[in-house]
Structure 1
Amino acid sequence: MMAQHEPAGDHLLDEDIDREIEVERKYAVPEGTAIPDFSTLGSISPERLDILVADYYDTPDFALLNSQITLRRRTGGDDAGWHLKTPGIGDLRNEVRMPLKRGRRIPSALRAEIAHIVEDRPLLPVVRIRTERTTTDLFGEDGASRAEIVSDVVDATVLRDDVSVHERWAEIEVELASKETEATFEEIEVMLSEAGISRSDSPSKLAHILTDVPPLRQPGEHDTAIEVAVAALADHFGRFQALEGEVAVDAPDAVHQARISLRRMRSILQIYKKVFDRGDAKRLRDELRWAGEKLGGPRDSEVIREEFTEVLDKLDPSEIVGPVRERIESTLEARHEREFAKLTLAMASPRWDSVYAQATEFITESPASNRGRRPAGKTLGRLAGESVERVAERDKVARKRPEDLEGWHEVRKGAKGARYAHEVLARLGSKDAERERSGWKKVATAFGEVQDSVILEEQLSAFEADASAAGEPTDTYVLLRTRLAESREAALQRARDLVKDSIAASK
């Protein structure tokens, strides 16, 4: 297990969190109803007008909405930032705020607050709301604030291609000052009632606009190809989002799993590129590749260390001559530290924010080609078949020069593509696709063992050179090279057999 590190980037720090408890009621203002003059209640402040623009985030199945929770990113006003509101008892609402940082990436600390609800589902913008807010402060005889009364004109749009929902309405929110009693609500409500304004049935603006909007369901074979492909993309993006906080502290296996999520997203964009708008898909794929490379540095050092530990543990203690284990562990620990530092810088960069922004926009807008609008079953099935044909072509080339590992590496990449292609098809309930996914996973795993042995042998040469320069015995390194060569040949033969069987099974 590699050493853990402090979080990367100030957007992850707990001290950025501001926690408040609100005591608030919301009132619906019927169309054409005049807002009453609150000065009859006592001393009031001059009205303040703000324009607020907020994106509200939720999972495709509205997990937050169903829990009466709102997560938004808002600009404008004196409390611009990220706001997470959760229900309390009665009129109480718990609010967690974090300041706006560069980009639109959801702060990991906020996601952690609701992790038990959203789990690894994607959090995506579902509604954009523009609010013209008029704020009035109501004061008591002692000059202390009693309540904040805001009159909102709301313009809301649902950010989904499958529905066209846009609505304008007016509402009033009353928030009591600290230690103010609920009697103040009653006093204000008398005036509002006389004006024809009553308590709102909706707990939030989000709930109001989504009243008749159904959650997204998992698409099936009769839905469009773009819907199925994007749903798969969204699932992997959700896992990537959920892992960011753990990646930042180098939690065990977090970097590995985040890298896998990005790899699956890239494979979907590549294998099923004919269902997407080509330009948008390529741009996102390039950004995912960059982020994956940044994750790859520390992950590769982890893998190499784990593999060498396993190989050394299989040797007889008498076969380990000199400080072999110590040299390997210290070298790879230092390498991991360097690579993780690079990852930390990348995660704090504008480009990392851009990866999130592009993925979010792509999933939300679902840019489709003509083929992407066709039924999923047949369309994706044909493209998955093409992925197998590419593996077969690469296998044919590799078998002409079986000693050329680069050719088999190309087969491996093709096998991974076929695996992820059939993984998407299996979401449609196809047992054949699930069988093929399982078969191609075995192929990719076997070729992965070959690739790992190549990387280990390259690293072993560096260890041997360093040991020799330090005057240390190199006998163990020579022995390890022999063992690695033997295991590579066995893994390569197993992989050749598996890919042959999988190609035959796909016909």
Structure 2
Amino acid sequence: MSDSVAVVRETERKYEADDAVVLLDPARLLGLDPGSQPEEQQLEAIYFDTPDLRLLRAGVTLRRRKGGSDEGWHLKLPAGQDSRDELRLPLTRARSKPPAEFVALTRLNTRGTALGPVAQLNTQRRRWVLADAEGHELAELVEDQVNAHTMGKQTTAVSWREVEVELGEHGQVDLLDRIERELLEVGAHRSSSGSKLGRLLADQLQPPAGKDSTKGSANGASKASAKDSGKGGKPKVKRGSAGEAVLAYLGAQAEQLRAQDPLVRRDALDAVHQMRVAARRMRSVLQAYGNVIDGEATRGLTDELKWLGGELAGARDSEVIEERLTSVLHALPDDAVLGPVAAQLTRSLQRRGAEGREAALAALDSDRYLALHDAVDQLLADPPLTARASRPARKELARGVAKVWRRMENRMASADAAAPGEEHDIALHEARKSGKRLRYALEVAEPSVGKPAERFRLRAKDVHTLLGDHQDAVVARPVLRELAAQAHLDGGNGFTHGVLYGLEVVRAERAERELPEAWRRLGEPANTKWLKS
């Protein structure tokens, strides 16, 4: 993302206030100093979207605003309750179309459909800044008189009055609650829409009578109602059924997958990891519960989720190695660090990370990636449910967990029988992947099964953590050998790399030494007996 893009986290609430509502002076309303008389602003904003409003349906808005202190291009992305991240770029005479950076960040929402102007809003604003006794900005209160009209073949014009309250740098969320109580007292009420554009275009957001609003949507398929399944002879999803539990989990992971897309593109902290985990969870659950959602019918999607995880692996693996080695290096005594080892580590691993990030972004910009999301939407809108999907969740989900558990038992047995060295390392890595699938399968079952599934999942996490430590050490060792060799070629000293290598050997050995006891505890009857009930 361009360095010129400014990112602002805004937490705000909107209120409808008709002409009968009289706003008290902010100083008397809240006991806070508004600092001065209200600032008067004239704002003109043109909003861009696809013809079927895919951005707005996803809670995203893109506008070009003139006037005010933040004049420019604004892209607002959801960031939790009452909050959005607003990305800003300055206006330029040459830029009449949405900036390429913002088009890229909305690609998953638009699925490649061109963006065009859909509405214009002209706002006459009165703005107060509320501060504490020390002058720290706590909140911003604005009163807007809005004149808006849609753009296109048919236009609709409408006017209204509203109040916005946005949290300042030093404000706390409870201040929003205080202000809300006062506003409700004078007759205002929470807006039915989260944005001015949403209010203007509310009628266009309603689906035609008798049609499923999520079918074919770029973003809404995860909200497909379970009770709508069963068309064409497919079994309906009942409350408390296995199908309901699996679909709810898949829907949550699909939402996470979509939410991480703009964050990965912005190089946000941990975004690649979170996207990769969401893809892995979906794939694992589809495979674990093929008895609930037809495994053959979803095989193509599981293959594509595996592909996406692979494309993200380079960026994520570099993050893991850099975090691990940098932490260990900083813990070494000074006399064990010979030469500019930290600088070499950073230079080499950041180069690897940049290459991995380039591959990840190429995947996100591909048609294959959009087709994957189309397949996810289709799965959630019209899931290929089996006859078992309507059975009670507790018993049917236990079948899926038992299948994954048996697979992990086989993988661990193979690791025990493997020859020491590379063969053993590979076998433990395969067991680790089975452990992940077991944990994700248990996450689906836990709400229905309760404590037994939770206890089993926590024990599985202990085993998986040890297997993960072992694998991280296995991956780090060849990187350290390469860095040591490069240091030697550059005329440096490879001593510290050898120290780090030795610590990774110890780390792997410790994981293997502790693994048998953790594995024994995981397999205790108290943890597994519910799988046979």
Q: TM class by shorter-chain length? A: 0.5 to 0.7
Larger Cα Rg: Structure 1 or Structure 2? 1
Question: In 1, Cα distance between the equivalents of 2:394 and 2:339?
Answer: 60
Give SS of 2:448's match.
coil
Unaligned runs of 5+ in 2: 8-46, 65-73, 85-107, 110-147, 161-201, 214-222, 228-235
Query: TM-score of the superposition, structure 1-length normalised?
Result: 0.62
For residues 130-150 of structure 1, what are the alpha-carbon distances to aligned partners after superposition, in whole Å with 9 as ceiling and x for unaligned?
xxxxxxxxxxxxxxxx99999
Q: Is the alpha carbon distance of 1:148 and 1:477 closer, same or farther for their aligned partners in structure 2, counting shifts above 3 Å?
A: closer
- Other-structure match for 2:317: 300
Query: TM-score of the superposition, structure 2-length normalised?
Result: 0.59
2:156 to 170, 175, 200: 175
Question: In 2, Cα distance between the equivalents of 1:118 and 1:273?
Answer: 38
Question: In 2, Cα distance between the equivalents of 1:256 and 1:86?
Answer: 22
For residues 333-373 of structure 1, what are the alpha-carbon distances to aligned partners after superposition, in whole Å with 9 as ceiling and x for unaligned?
11111111121222111111112111111111111123334
Give SS of 1:112's match.
strand
Question: Are 2:253 and 2:281, in contact at CA under 8 Å, matched by a contact in 1?
Answer: yes
Cα-Cα RMSD? 4.1
Say yes or no: does 1:243 pair with 2:260.
yes
Identical positions, percent: 28
Question: Are 2:286 and 2:295, in contact at CA under 8 Å, matched by a contact in 1?
Answer: no
**Corresponding pairs, count:** 356
2:474 to 454, 462, 481: 454
For residues 411-445 of structure 1, what are the alpha-carbon distances to aligned partners after superposition, in whole Å with 9 as ceiling and x for unaligned?
21221111111110012251111111111112111
Question: Are 1:111 and 1:242, in contact at CA under 8 Å, matched by a contact in 2?
Answer: no
Say yes or no: does 1:356 pair with 2:373.
yes
- Other-structure match for 2:441: 421
How far residue 495 of structure 1 moved from its aligned partner, in angstroms, is 2.4
Question: Are 2:273 and 2:316, in contact at CA under 8 Å, matched by a contact in 1?
Answer: yes
Question: In 2, Cα distance between the equivalents of 1:502 and 1:438?
Answer: 9
Query: 5 Å matches for 1:7-406?
Result: 79=51, 82=54, 84=56, 112=77, 116=81, 175-176=156-157, 206=206, 209=209, 216=225, 223-401=240-418, 403=420, 404-406=424-426
2:427 to 407, 413, 427: 407
Question: Are 2:397 and 2:445, in contact at CA under 8 Å, matched by a contact in 1?
Answer: yes
Q: Is the alpha carbon distance of 1:150 and 1:326 closer, same or farther for their aligned partners in structure 2, counting shifts above 3 Å?
A: closer
Give SS of 1:275's match.
coil
Q: Is the alpha carbon distance of 1:388 and 1:118 closer, same or farther for their aligned partners in structure 2, counting shifts above 3 Å?
A: farther
Question: In 2, Cα distance between the equivalents of 1:273 and 1:472?
Answer: 55
Which is worse superposed, 359-368 or 210-219? 210-219
Question: Are 1:6 and 1:248, in contact at CA under 8 Å, matched by a contact in 2?
Answer: no
Amino acid at match of 1:206: Q
How far residue 295 of structure 1 moved from its aligned partner, in angstroms, is 1.5
Question: In 1, Cα distance between the equivalents of 2:351 and 2:499?
Answer: 25
Question: Are 2:292 and 2:389, in contact at CA under 8 Å, matched by a contact in 1?
Answer: yes
Give SS of 1:368's match.
coil
Question: In 2, Cα distance between the equivalents of 1:343 and 1:325?
Answer: 26
Question: Are 1:220 and 1:428, in contact at CA under 8 Å, matched by a contact in 2?
Answer: no
Query: Relative contact order: is structure 1 or structure 2 higher (C-alpha 8 Å, sep ≥ 6)?
Result: 1
Question: In 2, Cα distance between the equivalents of 1:177 and 1:339?
Answer: 49
How far residue 224 of structure 1 moved from its aligned partner, in angstroms, is 3.2
Give SS of 1:279's match.
coil
Question: Are 2:257 and 2:278, in contact at CA under 8 Å, matched by a contact in 1?
Answer: yes
Say yes or no: does 1:479 pair with 2:460.
no
Unaligned runs of 5+ in 1: 15-70, 88-93, 99-108, 126-145, 152-172, 180-201
Question: Are 1:301 and 1:336, in contact at CA under 8 Å, matched by a contact in 2?
Answer: yes
